[in-house]
Amino acid sequence: KEKAFVMIKPDGVRRGLIGEIVSRFEHKGLKLVRAELKEISRETAQTHYGHLKDKPFFGELVDYITSGMVFAMIVEGQSAVTNSRSLIGPTNPAEAPPGTIRGDYGLDVAENVIHGSDSLDNAAKEIRLFFGRV
Ligand code: GTP
Ligand code: MG
């Protein structure tokens, strides 16, 4: 069964959105198979967002993602990667349609509530980075 890595970012955790967001995945039919509320190190954040290291906002992104607890999850089910991305919506919450998580809960492209892996390959890498071998 396909697995995706999903992470509620520190703004989502601070705002008390864990329950609401987890229930959207459950209602969709994606099963929560691992979850952990934790703080991530700067090193983990830099590895996770390594593909963005040349962007002008990279430092700000690492500061944000390490600014508090995240809720890291593995969700499992049919086409878990594409189905979780469609629940999440586009990167910029201002452009995300209502009904998506970012469309319903976000306004800011920097603090956009949630992360979801964008490919099967990256899902496997991110699961290994956050949970080790599962
Ligand atoms: P993730 O699921 O978090 O990977 O988002 P994404 O795949 O929709 O977008 P992308 O991987 O391109 O960007 C990763 C993250 O960088 C975004 O989710 C935002 O948190 C952040 N980000 C993107 N654009 C900007 C920006 O212009 N400014 C700042 N400060 N952060 C940005
Ligand atoms: Mg991404």
Q: Token pair of 16, please?
A: 């008390």
> Does any ligand 1 atom lie closer than 6 A to the CB of residue 118?
yes
Between CA 115 and CA 112 the distance in angstroms is 8
Give the CA diameter of the chain. 38
Query: Which one is the CATH code of 3-131: 3.40.109.10, 3.30.70.141, 3.40.50.2300, 3.40.50.410?
Result: 3.30.70.141
pLDDT digits (tens, 9 = 90+) for 4-48: 999 999 999 999 999 999 999 999 999 999 999 999 999 999 999
Mean pLDDT of the residues in the chain: 97
Find out whether 15 is annotated in a ligand binding site: no
Ligand 1 pocket: which of 54, 61, 125 to mutate (most atoms <8 Å of CB)?
61
**Does the pTM of the predicted model rise above 0.90?**
yes
pLDDT band at 122 (very low <50, low <70, confident <90, very high): very high
Q: What is the pLDDT of residue 133?
A: 81
- Comparing CA positions, the residue from 71, 77, 69, 70 lying closest to residue 25 is 77
Is the pLDDT at 95 greater than 80? The verdict is yes
The annotation status of 42 as a binding-site residue, yes or no, is no
70-76/3-8 β-pairing? antiparallel
133 is in an annotated binding site: no
Q: Is the CB of 57 under 6 A from ligand 1?
A: yes
**Which residues are identified as catalytic?**
115
User: Whose alpha carbon is nearest atom 30 of ligand 1?
Assistant: 110
Look up the ipTM and state it: 0.94
Q: What is the DSSP letter of 79?
A: T
List the one residue out of 81, 86, 62 whose CA is nearest residue 125: 81
Residue 128 pLDDT level (bands cut at 50, 70, 90): very high
Please check the confidence at residue 134 and state whether its pLDDT lies above 80: no
* Residue-level length of the chain: 134
